[in-house]
Chains A and B, each alone.
Chain A
């Protein structure tokens, strides 16, 4: 099955199943197959909602939001932009938020003397984010950017921490059967000591 066909099938299946409430009932195995089929396309993801340029801008934004840290992979390796684009392709409201927001980012970068966001230097990029990443910088001129960045940050964080990479990064240790529940003595000692209880 070609990439396009497979994605279309997935999208249609997803939409139909959710619409009828049946997604809750499809078997774990089926869902697993669906997810596998989808993640197979991550390597060479072709954006469905965003233009190539918008998509590259989003990829760079996600890279800045959750970067590579001490060699540990970040949002780019976790496919955050692809996940956001996939949702935006199903929701015109979401697509609008991203296309308008990314356009604003480019326009602001242009105003600051660069051709656009992706071609700006990392220093120029972070200089912009240092402004729009905080509500306290709210002005009528900046509010569109601040509001958009809130969306991009929230969804990038969600995409990262729901990926295999992000779950390892946060060091969640569960989700497997255990023969016994082990008392967390080391953690208890730590918590008691720090709480003063």
Chain B
């Protein structure tokens, strides 16, 4: 029997401490509401971050113990602030036959926000009404106007770089000044312009001015290692630590939520969790509960909260929990750009990307054979050398001695990578459910994934492929990698960090068959190229693997109709009034905007609504 640790009834129990849980915790604590925060992983401290370390400060220099990187085994992200991965000891998941899906999980205070790419994009007005626009997928029960005030609040609080551009696909926000472009950014911007595409300052969750006691960015380029000055956004150091100072927040680390306990009226009365430090099961009582465990974990928790009153799981009278799982469509291409060879070296660290390409064809779908769109992230510069950084050039030139050294020198910093990040249309074949047999080490039933891309996504990737080639060739680039499966991040490959596990050596000229002329479909001054044609299904499309872009959303969606949506427009369960969801699970679609900003804005709105409903005595 679970042990009830206290008789205290907590006002709000939040499950999960990433972007959603961190936001809810911070907003409620600042409103004077007490929060008990359950995190499945350990606590984290600033001293856990390995910012400014050199490769020679770790024994394996990034190759992993036993030199795993040389055997294509995961190395455990030697310097990054990534705590987790797609395989966690004792915490399996299964993938249905015929499906391909990987599920990345972080178990630590702050979750994936400690290391993520910090791309911060508002969804556009039309992104909330996709079905109305092109009759595919579903409309959100809210509009841009509903969420815009929360994007404002989030940007003021977090600090986001950017510039005012008046582009409908990329609504402007409240930005702080972006850093100057790097040399390769200027080439990309000009090459895009030549193809009728506009590239603008990147929008990153990095404050470039002092903010709420956080110093401005110090431009070391290591956002992914966690920021020791908290100048970029992570839920841990920007939201949870400050919230803990209010005295309103209690954190229980190493607490793996198992199920939600309900009473006869159908309300949640307690959260049952495994204390991972000793494997015992405990319960905390609650007045309300907010799930922010990540889209799939939140769905899993609901589906595992079965009872005679809720035979399909909690908040699931619609049968839609776990359904409409989406990821981002990913494709990357990189090129060696001879114009950059021999360039005077400079410190290109900065922060993340300084340049990005918002979707430019939002009003020209008639020219396309796929719905919706994508944005492009740009990588390049003189990255800190790491294991595998020069494997591509070494493989190509071979030899040894000073000629090899010279070839490495000539190629260093000449690689430019473009990563497309596009919208997936929700489909009936992509979902997660409880595996009928497999359980994790604590006996909690695990998820089984089903996944299928459709022609909508495959055609989009073909368009990326043609477009990226045109941009890179416009600057004289020699295509190095066309982006195989796995959706590898162009930035990592292009900056020569090269420490991603399993990353293959770039092979110049090994790209797939070239089709069409190198003009960009839809580019304004196009010389009359035919644009992207419907591809032949037989041709392999190098689309990322499901889950690989780590933007899994959906699974517990919002909607006005309780028959078809588990949550209402405030992310409150239709069936269970004191149950809220505040991660990416409520997403109705997965626009070409990285989900974190919308997770934060939605969670902020949900937290304010929850506090108001508590004040009114409605929950």
Contacts and interface: CB of A to CB of B under 8 A. Distances in A.
A90 B56 contact: no
Interface string A16-40: 0011010111011101101100110
Contacts of A153: 394, 398, 400, 404
Interface residues of chain A: helix, strand, loop or mixed (majority): helix
Contact of B76 (A23, A83, A194): A23
Contact of A134 (B182, B183, B337, B399): B399
Interface string A162-189: 1110110111111111111111101110
Nearest to B193: A197
Given A24-B82, A153-B394, A195 B56 contact: no
A192 B187 contact: yes
Contact of B62 (A66, A162, A192): A162
Contact of A174 (B220, B338, B400): B220
B42 interface: yes
B128 to A, nearest CB: 35
A143 B219 CA distance: 47
B344 interface: yes
Contact of B71 (A23, A25, A93, A167): A93
Contact of A158 (B61, B71, B194, B383): B61
Given A25-B42, A197-B474, A157 B394 contact: yes
Contacts of B96: none
A167 B220 contact: no
Contact of A65 (B57, B59, B82, B400): B400
Contact of B67 (A27, A94, A171): A94
A129 B400 contact: yes
Nearest to A28: B50
Contacts of B52: 28, 175-177
Interface residues of B, number: 87
Contact of B219 (A15, A23, A65, A180): A180
A95 B180 CA distance: 48
A120 interface: no
Nearest to B412: A170
Interface in B281-295: none
B53 A31 contact: yes
Contacts of B220: 174-178
Nearest to B225: A28
Nearest to B182: A184
B422 interface: no
B588 interface: no
Interface string A85-107: 01110110110000000000000
Contacts of B405: 66, 69, 169
Contact of A167 (B42, B65, B385, B387): B385
Contacts of B186: 188, 191-192
A159 B391 CA distance: 12
B438 interface: no
A67 interface: yes
A154 interface: yes
Given A28-B47, A164-B56, A188-B186, A159 B400 contact: no
A195 B187 contact: yes
Nearest to A190: B343
Contact of B400 (A86, A133, A182): A133
23 contacts: A15-B65, A24-B77, A24-B82, A25-B48, A27-B47, A32-B57, A69-B405, A153-B404, A162-B56, A162-B62, A162-B386, A170-B412, A172-B382, A174-B382, A175-B52, A175-B54, A177-B52, A181-B350, A182-B180, A187-B183, A188-B181, A188-B183, A196-B476
Given A177-B220, A178-B219, A197-B194, 10 more contacts: A66-B404, A158-B390, A161-B389, A162-B61, A164-B54, A173-B345, A174-B348, A174-B384, A190-B183, A191-B183
Interface of A: 10, 14-15, 18-19, 21, 23-25, 27-29, 31-32, 34-35, 38-39, 64-67, 69, 83, 86-88, 90-91, 93-94, 129, 133-135, 151, 153-155, 157-159, 161-164, 166-167, 169-184, 186-188, 190-192, 194-197
